[in-house]
Amino acid sequence: MLKFIDSELVLLKKQIDEMWTLVYNQLERAGEAVLTQDRELARQVLVRERRVNAFELKIDRDVEDIISLYNPVGIELRFVLAMLKINTNLERLGDFAESIARFVVNNTEPLDAALIEQLRLNKMIEQVLSMLELAKRALQEEDQDLAASVFAKDSLLDEINANATPLLADYILKNPGDATVCLNLIGIFRKLERSGDHITNIAEEIVFFVDAKVLKHSGHVDEVISEKEKI
């Protein structure tokens, strides 16, 4: 039985890795599309969103099968539950990529390049991708320190998002004809800020899974689980 569940867990981790790559590419394309106003690139994101949703459902079903067939306990159960939560957060990131791409497709007004630079939209997109890539490395290498380092990166997203609203409000006062596009841009900044929250959620799941795995050999797993319950 143990041999079979081990192979299932390896396969589950591989599927999460593939889902991660798909979502990363979606966010990267959506980010490039909004910065360049490339509608064709944005349409590619919209088309691929169906793959993200299908992948999420498949991983959910596989997790259900593993739990029902193998009744995992301890570290194996923590791993399966962590993958389930990571899968959900990745799907939400895919939704954000879709929303950003839809803005590009529907927007008919050119974006003010100077405004976009002042808003630091490019930096925000880069930070989201950097966080997602770092969290992926943390899972691949099962490195809790790498996962924990994701948390500090989220503050930059909060800062850029907080500064965006007053900057855009001031721009609307001076350019009332651009109010609609500016309001939509506020939505994009909020989605990118929320993306950071979902990536930190992913990193948190990695920290607790890996920490428990490391402590398994010293008999402190119950302490880690207790600490998780406090949160």
Each residue's pLDDT tens digit, 170-189: 999 999 999 999 999 999 99
Per-residue pLDDT reduced to its tens digit, 18-61: 999 999 999 999 999 999 999 999 999 999 999 999 999 999 99
Distance CA 193, CA 121 (A): 11
- The model's confidence at residue 212, banded by pLDDT at 50, 70 and 90, is confident
Percent of the chain with pLDDT strictly greater than 90: 85
Backbone dihedral region of 73: left (phi > 0), alpha (psi from -120 to 50 degrees) or beta? beta
**Predicted TM-score (pTM) above 0.75:** yes
pLDDT class of 2 with cuts at 50, 70, 90:
low
From the list 31, 47, 29, 21, the residue with the least C-alpha distance to 191 is 31
Q: Which of 5, 20, 13 is nearest to 199 (CA)?
A: 20
Rounded to whole angstroms, the Cα distance separating 208 from 195 reads 20
Under the banding of pLDDT at 50, 70 and 90, the label for residue 214 is low
**Could you tell me if 116 and 181 are in contact, meaning their C-beta atoms sit under 8 angstroms apart?**
no
Q: Where are the beta strands (DSSP E) in 83-181?
A: none
> How many C-beta atoms lie closer than 10 Å to residue 137's C-beta?
14
Angle at 57 between CA 51 and CA 62, to 5 degrees: 125
**Looking at residue 141, what is its pLDDT?**
95
What pLDDT is attached to residue 219?
Answer: 44
- Residue 223: which pLDDT band, with cuts at 50, 70 and 90? very low
Distance of CA 134 to the CA centre of its chain: 11
CATH of domain 2-230: 1.20.58.220
